Structure 1
Amino acid sequence: MSDKSIIFFLMCMVLLLLVVVCYQQFVFGRGIQDKLKKISEKLSEILEKDSDEKVMVFTDNKVLISLSGQINRMLLDRQKVKADYRKQELSTKKMLANISHDIKTPLTVILGYLEITRMENKEDEMLQKVETKARQVMELINQFFTLAKLEAGDLNVEIMKIDIGELCRENVLDFYELLISKEFTVELSIPEQNYFVQGDKESINRILNNLLSNAIRYGSDGKYIGLFLREDGNEIYIDIVDKGKGIEKQFAKSVFERLYTMEDSRNREIQGNGLGLTIAKNLARQMGGDIVLESEPGVKTVFTLILKKILY
């Protein structure tokens, strides 16, 4: 074999080796990229679902093993922070419930003395105002107490079969005289067919009372109130509608927050303690339902109570 042939053969072998090496590097790099992509997707899924899963990677690459280990370490620290926060939050809610209960006792005594004194001085306007304000404080304390018990999981909600149509009629009738005196147009759509939901009667009454009274109070400009009961699949929807000033879009998500008052979003002359809707939403969720809001300012505002339908 000539020298030229040997040189050509060697060059071919070198070229072949270079191709093999480049291919291996390409495959190796592609494999690393695929594994990094899977790690990224898994981490994104864990964060979006707020789950307690860990990132798993099957590889012999020490760098990837170290990376996944550090990620899991951060996820574990995150779980501990979440657990500590929930524990502290629950402790705070229980403390608030206890404080509310302790305040109620002396306030009840004060109200008793005020009532006796007012009976002896019926014409004393200042005394009447003091008693009115004391009762408002008592109502606020009661709402704080209810909310604190709800959020701490200490409020017993008795789930039973309830005729929701009948309950809706009863609640509207409770406001009949007030609606007539304020010259409201009332529109009802409650099917004759009986619809049954799973829930607590006292809780549903409280929710409907809150939604109806809010519609009357904040929707007084429209002189209209509507209640519409409808079904959709396994759920019952109760729409409470008014045609008042409405709620601007930027305030819509805030109305269910604790201590948020509606004067910021609807009628600024009206004062409230900002707990009614928070309690109502919590009660609805305790029964497996929810309350949602849709509002078009100047046109209509709709609060919808959603409850689980009983199919038998």
Structure 2
Amino acid sequence: MIFTDDKVLAELADLINRLLEDRRTLKADYRCQENASRKMLSNISHDIKTPLTVILGYLEIMRMDSPDEEMLKKVEDKAGQVLEMMNQFFTLAKLEAGDTELEAVQIPVNEVCRESILDFYEILSQKGFEVDINVPEKAVYVLGDREALHRILCNLVSNAVRYGGDGNYIGLSIRYEQEWVYIDVRDRGKGIDKVFADSVFDRLFTMEDSRSRRIQGNGLGLTIARNLAKQMGGDIILQSEPFAETTFTVKLKRF
């Protein structure tokens, strides 16, 4: 810090002090970003290494024995996990770099909601889920990109099935007011502690201490979903009451 009683020098000293403070802030931000990048790469490396290790193990067994259909299916599933993780990583990289262009057109939310839940019809039936859909017959429209909205909803439904499945319930409903439309995806699983509410959308978030690892691995799915919602002028909001109900709400501009 620089101090002086001279008015001109005092102004100059104040400017220098502010520049020094800005420099310290920039250095601190850079270190935070650098640490975050290292952590993300470490998480992704771990999440890719695990299924690859399993694949290599199965391949070693298959080399010694004639493979059966079940073993081949496991190898295929693990390989699919690796591919999906890589796709998510590159999708997020493009979104954060501003290289993804989304449409801004009229989207019938009713249709997209029905399509998204139907994508999970088989697994919901197999697991015996109670499915509660409250979608109005009257068409409701939002401004955005249809494919992006479908991806957001599929991610939220998938999370509800995978991590809230012990409640055997999933709800999907639409609410709207003059300027906004709200799409609620609900489950009745273990819930998410309030202390984690602001962290679940963090791309580095793994949350090992709550909801039995509700958000696993690199956490890119919810990060991508919220990023897409924000690019359409909206957001995704989390509300959770552990062991009662967890709701992810997609908020979009009404058209």
TM over 0.5: yes
- Is the contact between residue 262 and residue 274 of structure 1 (CA under 8 Å) also seen in structure 2? no
Match of 1:160 among 105, 115, 118: 105
- Is the contact between residue 200 and residue 215 of structure 2 (CA under 8 Å) also seen in structure 1? no
Mapping of 1:1-312 within 5 angstroms?
67=10, 69-77=12-20, 123=68, 128-261=73-206, 263-268=208-213, 271-310=216-255
Name the CA distance, whole Å, in 2 between partners of 1:229 and 1:269.
Answer: 24
- Is the contact between residue 161 and residue 197 of structure 1 (CA under 8 Å) also seen in structure 2? yes
Worse-superposed segment, 121-130 or 292-301: 121-130
- Is the contact between residue 163 and residue 194 of structure 1 (CA under 8 Å) also seen in structure 2? yes
- Is the contact between residue 226 and residue 242 of structure 1 (CA under 8 Å) also seen in structure 2? yes
Deviations 1:42-99 (A, max 9, x none): xxxxxxxxxxxxxxxxxxxx6676555544444445556777868xx7xx8xxx9xxx
Name the CA distance, whole Å, in 2 between partners of 1:292 and 1:259.
Answer: 18
Deviations 1:1-48 (A, max 9, x none): xxxxxxxxxxxxxxxxxxxxxxxxxxxxxxxxxxxxxxxxxxxxxxxx
Greater relative contact order, per chain length (Cα 8 Å cut-off, separation 6+): 2
Name the CA distance, whole Å, in 1 between partners of 2:22 and 2:176.
Answer: 40
State the number of aligned residues. 228
Q: 3-state DSSP class of the match of 1:264?
A: coil
Q: What one-letter code is carried by the residue in structure 2 that aligns with 1:277?
A: L
- Is the contact between residue 234 and residue 308 of structure 1 (CA under 8 Å) also seen in structure 2? yes
TM-score relative to the length of structure 2: 0.76
Question: Which of the two has greater helix per residue?
Answer: 1
1:19 corresponding residue in structure 2: none
Deviations 1:201-250 (A, max 9, x none): 11111100000111111111111111110113311111111111000111
Name the CA distance, whole Å, in 2 between partners of 1:70 and 1:260.
Answer: 42
Name the CA distance, whole Å, in 2 between partners of 1:231 and 1:269.
Answer: 29
Percentage identity across paired residues of the two chains: 54
Q: What one-letter code is carried by the residue in structure 2 that aligns with 1:197?
A: V
Gaps of 5+ in 1: 1-61, 97-106, 108-113
RMSD: 3.5
TM-score relative to the length of structure 1: 0.63
Name the CA distance, whole Å, in 1 between partners of 2:170 and 2:70.
Answer: 35
Give 1:132 deviation, angstroms: 3.0
Taking a change above 3 Å as real, the CA distance of residues 126 and 221 of structure 1, as seen in their structure-2 partners, is closer
Q: What one-letter code is carried by the residue in structure 1 that aligns with 2:183?
A: I
